[in-house]
Structure 1
Amino acid sequence: MLQKTHSAAGLVAAEVVIVQQQIPFLSWEAGGAILLGCLAGTLADVDKPGSTMAKVLFPLSALLRLLGVKHRTMTHSLLFIAAIGLAASPLPHLYFLVLIAAYASHPLIDLFNENGVQLFWPLKGKIRLLPKFLAVGTGSPLETAVRWVLLGWSLWIPFSTIRF
């Protein structure tokens, strides 16, 4: 999936947390959470040379490359999500939840990609949820449709919380 799709998924994840935590959407807290969600949704691609996250976090990306970490392996695993959770535990509760939810959205939607992810890294074998002929190709029209659905959902979530 492309960065913009992962960012949209991170946005939706952040909004779900904001609703669950009963934070008003028109607040600085929510604004920060939404920004964090959009960024954290793309963070797992730090393992992909040439990606925006690999460029922004070059020292980490270079270290992963030196260690031989391949794309959609370690940084897309449940173990790494747990490690992020441990490292992020000092954050305020809202931002901790948003970081974990948005980061986890990345491997979750990559499970629908034709290449799958090594979800149980360090165990070998990539997992995908759809057969290859139904899977969402990176940059495909189906991915564009998925992104538009996510963006539509991101508009619906705040408005669905308004009580008249």
Structure 2
Amino acid sequence: MLQKTHSAAGLVAAELVIVYHGGSFWSWEAAGALLLGCLAGPLADVDKQGSTMAKLLFPVSALLRLLNVRHRTMTHSIVFILTLMVLSLPLSPLYHAVFIAAYLSHPLIDLFNEQGVHLFWPLKARVRLLPKFLAVDTGSTSETVFRWMLLAVGIWLPVSAIGFPRLF
């Protein structure tokens, strides 16, 4: 999946956490949480040379390259996610939940990709949820449709949380 799809998934994950926590979308804390979601969503692609995250976090990307970490392996694994959960504990409860939910959205939607992910890294097995003929190829029309569906949910969640006054 492309970075913009992962950002949209991270945004939706952040919105879901805000709704779950009963927070308002009209606060600076919510704005920070939404930004964090948009950034944490594509973060797992720091292992992909040339990706936006690899460019933004060049030292981390360079270290992963030196360690010979391949794309959709370690940074997409349960072991890495559990490590991030522990390392991000100093964040506020809302930001911790948003960071983990948005980061989790990345390997989750990559499971719909033809290549799948090394979810149980360091084991070599790749996991994917769909057979190849139904899988969502990176940059394909089906990914664009999926991204627009995510964005529609991303618009609907805050609007439905606000509610509208009855006119009659």
> Partner residue of 1:121?
121
User: How far did 1:144 drift?
Assistant: 0.1
> Partner residue of 2:45?
45
Q: Secondary structure at the match of 1:9?
A: helix
Where structure 2 has 5 or more consecutive residues not aligned to the other structure, the ranges are: none
> Partner residue of 1:58?
58
User: How far did 1:124 drift?
Assistant: 1.1
Same amino acid, percent of matched pairs: 69
Normalising by structure 2, we get a TM-score of: 0.96
Q: Give the whole-Å Cα distance in 2 for the aligned partners of 1:90 and 1:25.
A: 23
The residue identity in structure 1 corresponding to 2:58 is F
- 1:92 and 2:92 aligned: yes
Where structure 1 has 5 or more consecutive residues not aligned to the other structure, the ranges are: none
RMSD: 0.7
Note the 1:68-83 alignment, pairs <5 A: 68-83=68-83
* Conserved 8 A contact 1:23-1:29: no
> Partner residue of 1:19?
19
Q: Give the whole-Å Cα distance in 2 for the aligned partners of 1:41 and 1:5.
A: 9
Q: Could you say which structure has the larger radius of gyration?
A: 2
The residue identity in structure 2 corresponding to 1:78 is I
The residue identity in structure 1 corresponding to 2:108 is L
User: How far did 1:162 drift?
Assistant: 2.5
Normalising by structure 1, we get a TM-score of: 0.99
Moved more, 78-87 or 6-15: 78-87
User: How far did 1:78 drift?
Assistant: 0.8
Note the 1:125-164 alignment, pairs <5 A: 125-163=125-163, 164=165
Residues 122-157 of structure 1 show CA distances to partners (whole Å, capped at 9, x for unaligned) of: 111111000001000000000000000000000000
